[in-house]
Amino acid sequence: MSAWETVVIIVGLALITLFTRSFFLFPDEDLPMPAWLRRGLRYAPLAALAAVIVPEVLMTQGQLIATFQDARLPASVAASVYYFSRRDILGTIVTGMAVFLPLRIGLGW
């Protein structure tokens, strides 16, 4: 590819990205949406978070973990217990890491 073609492609992709990411700013009023879709979209962030976290905790290199001696399991349980008892995100992260790091570094799990 020539330098000119590269510049045209970069500018074109930038314009497409700008248009698609700012599309929700164009209308003056909310777009009409069925109530069932509005209710369903409330769960989208939770579903996306679960889709990222669950495989990370339960799988290693594409396979389910075969042993309970994995530092991620007790760390996830401890962080979950802390969150559901206190509802504090920072404390949840600190609790999970406080369990995870000694098991991973200290015991080599």
Range of the domain at 46: 32-106
The total domain count for the chain is 1
pLDDT at 109: 84
Residue 73 forms part of a structural domain: yes
Question: Cα separations (Å) of 51 from 16, 46, 54, 87, 108?
Answer: 28, 9, 6, 21, 27
pLDDT per residue as tens digits for the range 30-88 = 778 899 998 998 898 889 988 998 998 889 888 898 888 889 999 999 999 999 999 99
pLDDT at 97: 96
pTM of the model: 0.60
Residue 69 forms part of a structural domain: yes
pLDDT at 80: 94
pLDDT over threshold 90, residue 98 = yes
